[in-house]
């Protein structure tokens, strides 16, 4: 069963706390992504990982960092969370890159509230 799993699904943090969002996939996909979804803005790309330790900034990387030490696992880290990072975060994976016609498989999302 091809699946992208995100943990945790819901999270409330205080401003200044660190946040770790985790994502796993069981499809041996090379490429993984982190997006955030905000009302009226659609999906904005935070980071892409092309493989283990091969990460690239997306359109809105400021305030975020990522880690990919195993092909099946991709983490998003917020060091000192800010209230404007309240959002729904989606992880996705694809066999190869986004542009090659490879379908993206999405996780169910992680809703983060920063108070």
Partner 1 sequence: GEQVEQLPSSLIVQEGASVLINCSYTDSASVYFPWYKQEPGKRLQFIIDIRSNMERKQNQRLTLLFDKKTKHLSLHITATQPGDSAIYFCSASRGSALGRLHFGAGTQLIVIP
Of positions 1, 14, 28, 100, contacts partner 1 by CB under 8 A: 100
Compute the least distance from the CB of residue 20 to partner 1, in Å: 20
Q: Scanning residues 5 to 34, which ones bind partner 1 (CB under 8 A)? A: none
Counting residues that bind partner 1 (by CB under 8 A) gives: 25
Residue by residue, what is the 3-state secondary structure of the chain? CCCEEEECCEEEECCCCCEEEEEEECCCCCEEEEEEEECCCEEEEEEEEEECCEEEECCCCCCCEEEEEECCEEEEEECCCCHHHCEEEEEEEECCCCCCCCCCEECCCEEEEEC
Binding site for partner 1 (CB under 8 A): 4, 40-45, 48, 50, 58-59, 90, 92, 96-101, 103-104, 106-109
């Amino acid at each position: 069963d091809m699946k992208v799993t995100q943990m945790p699904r819901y999270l409330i943090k205080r401003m200044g706390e660190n946040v770790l969002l985790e994502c796993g996939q069981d499809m041996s996909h090379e490429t993984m992504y982190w997006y955030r979804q905000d009302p009226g803005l659609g999906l904005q790309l935070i980071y892409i990982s092309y493989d283990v330790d091969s990460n690239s900034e997306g359109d809105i990387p400021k305030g975020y960092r990522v880690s990919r030490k195993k092909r099946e696992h991709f983490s998003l880290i917020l060091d000192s969370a800010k209230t404007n990072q309240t959002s729904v975060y989606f992880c996705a994976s694809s066999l190869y890159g986004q542009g090659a016609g490879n379908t993206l498989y999405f996780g169910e999302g992680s809703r983060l509230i920063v108070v």
